[in-house]
Amino acid sequence: MSVLEEIRGYVQQKADETVRIARDIWEYAELSYTETKSAKELEDALEAEGFTVTTGIAEIPTAFLAEFKTGSGKPVVGFLGEYDALDGLSQKAGQPEREAIIPGGCGHGCGHNLLGAGCFAAAVALKNYLVNNGKDGTVRYYGCPAEEGAGSKQFIARAGYFDDVDFAYTWHPNSRNEVSGKSSVAIMGANFIFDGIASHAGGAPHLGRSALDAAELMNVGCNYLREHMIDQARVHYAYSDAGGTAPNVVQGHAVIKYEVRAPKVNQMQELFTRVVDVAKGAALMTGTTMKYDITMAFSDYIQNKTLAPVMSRALEEAGPPQWTDEDYKLAGEFFRTYPKSTQLSILEQLQEYIDPDDVERTMRDKPLDSVTRPFDPKETRYESGSTDVGDVGYATPTVTLHVATAGLGNVGHSWQNTALANSPIGIKGMLKAAEVMALAAVNTMDDPELIEKARQELLRKNGGKYTCPLPDYVKPPIGTY
């Protein structure tokens, strides 16, 4: 029996339980830092498999660490599980028509129910392989809440939980089967709080100092800043407190949220400093005071190029999910739920990796990724999104796998994604991801020289140690983000 066949057998043995966990978490649909039921379900399942579970790590109630050791306990392998949902994306499972279970309710529009359960299956399969083959090692499952919010992995990394990990593997639901060479950008967010003097806007406006004016001027200044930053950078904002609804009151208090993104963590930090300077100027112009509270920050994510080919070869060996005619039909039905303009945009984007002459036929007949795509070490492009997996990637060699759980071109963070995250398509992708991650972990553990080479690549990237982009005083914003 090959290693793949053995691993596949272990994943299949736990398939019913893995699917149950994924569907339960999908139904819980808990938002960032409130994933009490989801975390407990995973904790209990891992404990039943013999893992030692530590809850509430890094001062986050819904974060946990599950660990299983054999022999010497070396090397140490980490799997990164997520299980938080998104607001406003409630949708009936597998249904290609918009119908929320709870109008305005939460839903797994990023497929984190599949992500968390898939990493559970990989961790258990690897544990069983080590035990049954008399091999040394430690398997860790990191329960990582709030990836869609202020994150948790940077807090877990800052607390030292990855310091002795030899490498970490994870995956994310996607529309393609690949180990992508693209990176993600760093991000930092803060609440900017302006305080002035309230006054009657008609009777005594000269006595007022408007905090809302300060926030507005901050926006003006940041809009002018946009011309003078790198093309790949982003600046986002939203009011969280505009100072009330009465126009005849000079607003004495206002709060505005800002987030900045850039390809590298040092570029992000430099841009954030400039945004702070703009806020200081706005306060000076309006005679108000300003303070800011940093709420979140993620480092940029870059695949470990030493280990990414190992994951890519494991994906190629395991092969893509095996789709049925019913799966293709369902994926096509979901594709047709998008507006025509979105469909045209998807068709155009697909030409990047599908022959332009074949795109329309593919989306008509077989709109699910049925091949595996090799890792490209020369890829230099960035995705414009951000993830707290980036901080794990600065703390230990890390690789993220993508496996199709939705149709080609599927739009993330959508009601369609919620429906597919509890469908036969999503389930097949999840179980395939578990196979690939466990197989890649075995192949990595059997090569100490490769592990050391990956470690040296990490040290060149992080300058010798992980540095959290968050100041030490910033705590997980439980209940406040």
For 422-463, the pLDDT digits (tens) are 999 999 999 999 999 999 999 999 999 999 999 999 999 999
Predicted pLDDT of residue 12:
98
Instruction: Categorize the per-residue pLDDT at 1 as very low, low, confident or very high, splitting at 50, 70 and 90.
Output: confident
Output the CA–CA distances (angstroms, integers) from residue 273 to 186, 225, 294, in the order listed: 14, 12, 12
Does the structure show a pLDDT above 80 at 329? yes
Predicted pLDDT of residue 130:
98
Does the structure show a pLDDT above 90 at 479? no
**Are the CB atoms for 91 and 107 separated by under 8 Å?**
yes
Does the structure show a pLDDT above 90 at 174? yes
Cα within 13 Å of Cα(37), Cβ side: 13
- Locus of tokens 């293709």: 328
CA distance 399 to 440: 10
Q: What percent of the chain has pLDDT over 90?
A: 98
CA distance 73 to 69: 5
Average pLDDT over residues 85-100: 98
Does the structure show a pLDDT above 90 at 301? yes
Average pLDDT over residues 258-282: 97
Average pLDDT over residues 193-218: 97
Predicted pLDDT of residue 137:
98
Predicted pLDDT of residue 146:
97
**Are the CB atoms for 256 and 240 separated by under 8 Å?**
yes
CATH topology of domain 3-184+300-462: Aminopeptidase (3.40.630)
Average pLDDT over residues 112-123: 98
Predicted pLDDT of residue 481:
74
pLDDT 10s digits, 242-256: 999 999 999 999 999
User: What tokens appear for 46 in the block?
Assistant: 């891992």
CA distance 44 to 299: 31
Predicted pLDDT of residue 228:
97
Q: Which helix (H) or strand (E) holds 430?
A: helix 424-445
Tell me phi and psi for residue 273, to 5 degrees.
-60, -40
Predicted pLDDT of residue 383:
86
Does the structure show a pLDDT above 90 at 169? yes
User: What tokens appear for 383 in the block?
Assistant: 């995705």
Cα within 13 Å of Cα(227), Cβ side: 4
- Under DSSP, the state recorded for 286 is H
- Under DSSP, the state recorded for 130 is H
Q: Are strands 186-195 and 289-298 parallel, antiparallel or unpaired?
A: antiparallel
Average pLDDT over residues 397-416: 97
User: For the chain, which residues make up each domain, given as ranges?
Assistant: 3-184+300-462, 187-297
CA distance 228 to 221: 11
Average pLDDT over residues 286-304: 97
Angle (nearest 5°) at CA 358 between 355 and 361: 160
CA distance 161 to 292: 29
CA distance 234 to 137: 42
DSSP class per residue in 146-177:
-TTTT-SHHHHHHTTTTTT-SEEEEEEEESS-
DSSP class per residue in 248-285:
TEE--EEEEEEEEEESSHHHHHHHHHHHHHHHHHHHHH
CA distance 465 to 396: 9
Cα within 13 Å of Cα(134), Cβ side: 0
Tell me phi and psi for residue 436, to 5 degrees.
-65, -45
Nearest to 167 by CA among 232, 244, 57, 74: 74
CA distance 467 to 24: 36
**Are the CB atoms for 421 and 404 separated by under 8 Å?**
no
Q: Do 3-184+300-462 and 187-297 agree at the fold level? A: no
DSSP class per residue in 342-404:
HHHHHHHHHTTTS-TTTHHHHHHH--S--S-B---TT---EES---THHHHHHHS-EEEEEEE
Can you give the pTM of this predicted structure?
Answer: 0.95
- Locus of tokens 């000079």: 250
CA distance 464 to 448: 20
Instruction: Categorize the per-residue pLDDT at 480 as very low, low, confident or very high, splitting at 50, 70 and 90.
Output: confident
Average pLDDT, the chain: 97
CA distance 434 to 124: 9
CATH architecture for segment(s) 187-297:
2-Layer Sandwich (3.30)
Tell me phi and psi for residue 264, to 5 degrees.
-120, 150
Using left for φ > 0, alpha for ψ between -120 and 50, and beta otherwise, residue 53 falls in beta
**Are the CB atoms for 170 and 437 separated by under 8 Å?**
yes
Angle in degrees, 0-180, between the axes of helices 15-28 and 424-445, rounded to the nearest 10 = 120
Average pLDDT over residues 89-111: 97
